[in-house]
């Protein structure tokens, strides 16, 4: 490589602990300021390569692989004049929404209570999303807040955001080492037996009539499969029709909780992609996804033994269902299980 080219690119070796990680996840860890859209642009133009090959974002990395990255990826894109101008475009309604859903804030992190029906990040046909709202509030936060994990559009609850690049990198490493304890609450059809258990089923992405979904990996699909483990526990039940369950994912795969509950025959109520949208267990239950990121406990990026421990209240549609079925969420207000 000549000197002029080497000034514009760098090569990073994939660490042993990063083996099997998707390229897009690897980028979120090493370059949290690079958006998914910008990464796709770099891949399409061949500016990002793995072992000199053109690859896709879903490429799984092997230990020792050489990832070629343009040094421009290290430049925070929001510092450009165009990006700063974009910051002025956040609507008053979006600003009020973000302010209204802040559960916790300090100099390094922001924890939001994500509402139902709002996407966390942009995609095809998605113009209004949490990431975009935050990007338009640099004047409020002093830097561009960065997502460090994701929730599905219709999943509610605790969403952790880094307020600057250094915190994002540290939190990314914490999530990678599975040091974050996440608890979700859900309403599922029927009552799982036994009432406590562990679901271990590798997942692969597949196209479906309702869009992309994941399913259990079949023989011969090991290369594409993503190992996934979920612990579940029944908290309460409504006869044999439905159960309130606590879900604790060990891994963080797309749609993991939704797919795992369907696999054991107890899909989450209101989940149209995973057989939970029909034959609701009681009249007057809203046909919305009943999945809520209830609590997150994670080491603080500032270190020194500090922890973030935040709980989100049930969203309105789940509160209504809990009242309808006689479930009492208030008993966990001081000590979540």
- Catalytically active residues are 152
> What contacts 113, CB < 8 A, 6 or more positions away?
101, 102, 103, 156, 157, 158, 159, 312, 313
Query: In what helix (H) or strand (E) does residue 188 lie, and over which residues does it extend?
Result: strand 181-189
Could you tell me if 150 and 121 are in contact, meaning their C-beta atoms sit under 8 angstroms apart? yes
Rounded CA separation 274/305 (Å): 40
Contacts of 12-19 with C-beta under 8 Å, sequence gap 24+, read 12/66, 12/67, 12/69, 13/64, 13/65, 13/66, 13/67, 14/61, 14/62, 14/63, 14/64, 14/65, 14/66, 14/67, 15/63, 16/63, 17/176, 18/61, 18/63, 18/176, 19/61, 19/62, 19/63
Pairing of strands 213-216, 242-249: unpaired
Could you tell me if 257 and 180 are in contact, meaning their C-beta atoms sit under 8 angstroms apart? no
Rounded CA separation 11/257 (Å): 36
DSSP 319: H
Chain-centroid distance of CA 244 in Å reads 22
Helices 36-44 and 23-30, interaxial angle, to 10°? 120
The single residue listed with the structure tokens 């002093």 is: 142
Q: Give the residues across from 307 on adjacent strands.
A: 299
Could you tell me if 99 and 113 are in contact, meaning their C-beta atoms sit under 8 angstroms apart? no
């Amino acid at each position: 490589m000549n000197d002029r080219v080497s000034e514009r690119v760098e090569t990073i070796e994939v660490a042993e602990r990063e083996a099997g990680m998707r390229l897009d996840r690897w980028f979120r860890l090493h370059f949290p300021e690079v958006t998914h859209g910008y990464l796709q642009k770099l891949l399409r133009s061949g500016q990002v390569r793995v072992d000199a090959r053109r690859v896709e974002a879903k490429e799984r990395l092997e230990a020792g692989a050489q990832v070629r990255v343009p040094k421009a990826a290290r430049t925070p894109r929001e510092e450009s004049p165009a990006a700063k101008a974009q910051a002025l475009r956040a609507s008053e309604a979006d600003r009020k929404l973000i302010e209204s859903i802040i559960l916790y804030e300090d100099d390094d992190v922001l924890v939001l209570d994500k509402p139902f029906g709002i996407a966390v990040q942009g995609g095809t046909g998605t113009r209004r999303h949490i990431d975009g709202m935050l990007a338009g509030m640099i004047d409020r936060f002093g830097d561009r807040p960065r997502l460090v994990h994701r929730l599905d559009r219709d999943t509610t609850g605790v969403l952790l955001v880094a307020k600057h690049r250094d915190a994002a990198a540290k939190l990314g490493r914490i999530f990678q080492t599975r040091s974050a304890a996440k608890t979700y609450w859900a309403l599922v059809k029927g009552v799982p037996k036994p009432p406590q258990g562990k679901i271990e089923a590798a997942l692969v992405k597949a196209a479906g009539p309702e869009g992309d979904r994941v399913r259990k990996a079949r023989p011969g699909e090991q290369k594409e499969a993503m190992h996934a483990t979920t612990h579940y526990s029944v908290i309460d039940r409504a006869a044999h029709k439905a159960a309130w369950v606590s879900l604790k994912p060990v891994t963080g795969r797309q749609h993991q909780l939704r797919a795992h509950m369907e696999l054991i025959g107890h899909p989450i109520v209101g989940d149209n992609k995973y057989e939970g949208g029909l034959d609701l267990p009681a009249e007057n239950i809203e046909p919305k996804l009943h999945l809520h990121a209830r609590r997150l406990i994670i080491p603080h990026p500032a270190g020194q033994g500090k922890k973030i421990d935040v709980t989100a209240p049930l969203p309105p549609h789940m509160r209504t269902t809990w009242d309808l079925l006689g479930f009492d969420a208030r008993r966990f207000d001081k000590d979540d299980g």
